Amino acid sequence: MPADRPAAQSAAKAEAGSRAPTVVWISWVALALMTTSSVASLRPSPTMAVYGLACVFLYLVPAIAFLLPTSLVSAELASGWEGGVYKWVSEGISKPMGFLAVWCQFAMTIFYYPSLLGFVAGTLAYVFNPDLATSGVWTAIVIMVTYWAGVWVSSRGTKGVAGLASGGLIIGTLIPGAVLVTLGLVFLGQGNPSAAPMDAAHFLPEWAGIASLVLIVNNFLSYSGMEMNAVHVSSLRDPRKEFPRSIFLATGLVLLIFILPALAISWVVPAEELSLTAGVMQAFDAVFAQFGSQWLTPIVGIMLVTASLGGMLTWLAGPSKGLLLISRQEGYLPPFLQRLNKHGIQQNILVTQGLITTAIALCYAFIPDVSSAYWIFSVITTQVYLIMYLLMFVAAIQLRRKQPDHPRGYRAPMLISMCGIGFAASLAALLVGFIPPSQFGSGSPGVYFLIVAGGALGLGLLVPYLFHRFRKPSWKQPEQPEASVS
């Protein structure tokens, strides 16, 4: 019957669509650019510029020992088990350890935001008044105002944040980085001497005891986040061949973005004058001064701030939402922290996190050296995140042994060796982080250790243990998240 034919054809199409859903493939080059945009940044450049040419060596070591193992191992896990790090660690070790892993992924942001926004404060100072870059009060105010503004934006379910963050790679990283390196080369080409020696004898950092190498710890956090992009491995047409290509291309791009601007800063700004929070702007200001174009400094500052704020907004709701969903299913958090607002956003978690962030921001106002505060918070961030990576490497080995036949779209080569190298590197970085770096030798090592240990171990281990220890069956709300979000 003709009248029934359109309906029958529609039903057939619907059935065919349900049988064979359209797969959206991405190229390995596109995945490499996605990875680069989520990992690379100009923010760590001042930290490593103090080493001059040695920053090349100090970036290559963690790339080989941490970046590659993390990328390849997480790719295998993501191609075999959906659900992120909680699913991987829960299947490989246990559910409590899975909660610890996803907690550390969330908790690192508590100290990540103060360090990120500390960089924003130092950058904004060059837009208004460069003298503010060393003011702890100014830094604290910028952190608090910016964070709470971000909470307000995120709590309203505002869309378009992802677009701002993706554009940040070009606006706030590639263009300023290219300008910095280009003008730095012109600066040297005009016969100006480099502020840091660039001969082969300075390729390795000076050895003055273990404290002289502590700053390398910060590079591990610079490379973190690769496990986030591994979830896209199933969108490649041939993961076995294309994912390694993507990782090696991303690694090369990330190294260029990290190393070349750091070298450019070391050419222009002497190490003893370098501020860890405002070093990028110092370099831009000094370079522009050589060409009589200091009016460009505020413009570059706004570009850098835009990229940082876009990244903050992207991270603000992501890890906390993952923690929320897992906590409702298993009852890890009390009901107060599980509540959603009318936009389906975990506002109570964001507000609680904001209160802690505010308290941390006030530390900038009371610690005399802003650079020291920035470094301490960066180390704590790294320590907490490294706990998650330790669990991930153990889980990967366990899953390969316990479920060798489980379907995987990608199998990492030499997985056991990869995990061993990654675990050893992560553990070494975790332990070295408790030692104050030589650049901050004027402070008390005991006080430094207590601050870092209290922040990393207390937040990373003690708090999730207490949540797990005192949880109640009534905290489970497995069906409510989706209903509330919708």
How far is residue 390's CA from residue 412's CA, in Å, rounded to a whole number?
A: 17
| DSSP annotation string for 127-161 | HH-GGGGG-HHHHHHHHHHHHHHHHHHHHTT---H
pTM, two decimal places: 0.77
Contacts of residue 166, defined as CB under 8 A and 6 or more positions apart, other chains included, come to 37
Compute the half-sphere exposure of residue 271: CA atoms within 13 Å on the CB side of its CA: 13
∠83-89-91 over CA atoms, to 5°? 80
Angstrom distances, CA of residue 410 to CA of 74, 208, 295? 10, 43, 50
∠68-384-158 over CA atoms, to 5°? 90
How far is residue 15's CA from residue 145's CA, in Å, rounded to a whole number?
A: 52
For the four alpha carbons of 114, 253, 160 and 236, in that order, the dihedral sign comes to: negative
The pLDDT score that the predictor gives to residue 12 is 45
The pLDDT score that the predictor gives to residue 486 is 30
At 252 the three-state DSSP class reads: helix
Query: Closest Cα partner for 416 from 403, 401, 397?
Result: 397
Buried b (16+ CB within 10 A) or exposed e, 145-175: ebbeebbeebbeeeeebeebbbebbebbbbe
How far is residue 100's CA from residue 86's CA, in Å, rounded to a whole number?
A: 8
How far is residue 194's CA from residue 214's CA, in Å, rounded to a whole number?
A: 25
Cα 55 vs. chain centroid, distance in angstroms? 20
One digit per residue, the tens of pLDDT, for the chain of length 486 reads 444 444 444 444 444 444 444 556 778 887 787 777 777 788 778 778 888 898 898 888 888 888 889 888 988 888 888 777 888 999 999 999 999 998 998 888 777 788 788 888 888 888 888 888 778 888 889 989 998 888 887 776 545 444 555 566 678 888 898 998 998 898 898 888 888 888 877 887 776 556 555 656 657 767 877 776 666 677 788 877 787 788 788 888 888 999 999 898 888 888 777 766 666 787 788 778 878 888 888 898 888 888 777 767 767 766 777 788 888 888 888 888 888 777 777 778 888 888 888 887 887 777 666 666 667 777 888 888 889 999 999 999 999 999 999 988 888 889 999 999 999 988 988 888 887 766 555 567 788 888 888 888 888 889 899 988 888 888 887 554 443 333
Cβ proximity of 121 and 142 under 8 Å: yes
Query: Closest Cα partner for 396 from 381, 377, 411?
Result: 411
| DSSP single-letter state for residue 321 | H
Number of helices (H), then strands (E), belonging to the chain: the values are 22, 0
Query: Closest Cα partner for 139 from 117, 161, 155, 157?
Result: 117
How far is residue 380's CA from residue 108's CA, in Å, rounded to a whole number?
A: 8
How far is residue 407's CA from residue 398's CA, in Å, rounded to a whole number?
A: 15
The pLDDT score that the predictor gives to residue 481 is 41
At 206 the three-state DSSP class reads: coil
Query: Closest Cα partner for 258 from 221, 301, 207?
Result: 221
The pLDDT score that the predictor gives to residue 4 is 43
| DSSP single-letter state for residue 471 | -
Q: Which two tokens stand for residue 375?
A: 């470094």
How far is residue 92's CA from residue 214's CA, in Å, rounded to a whole number?
A: 32
| DSSP annotation string for 59-73 | HHHHIIIIIHHHHHH
Query: Closest Cα partner for 328 from 484, 137, 146, 210?
Result: 484
Region for residue 73 given its phi and psi (left: phi exceeds 0; alpha: psi -120 to 50; beta: otherwise) = alpha
Q: SS3 breakdown of the chain: % helix, strand, coil, rounded to 5?
A: 80, 0, 20
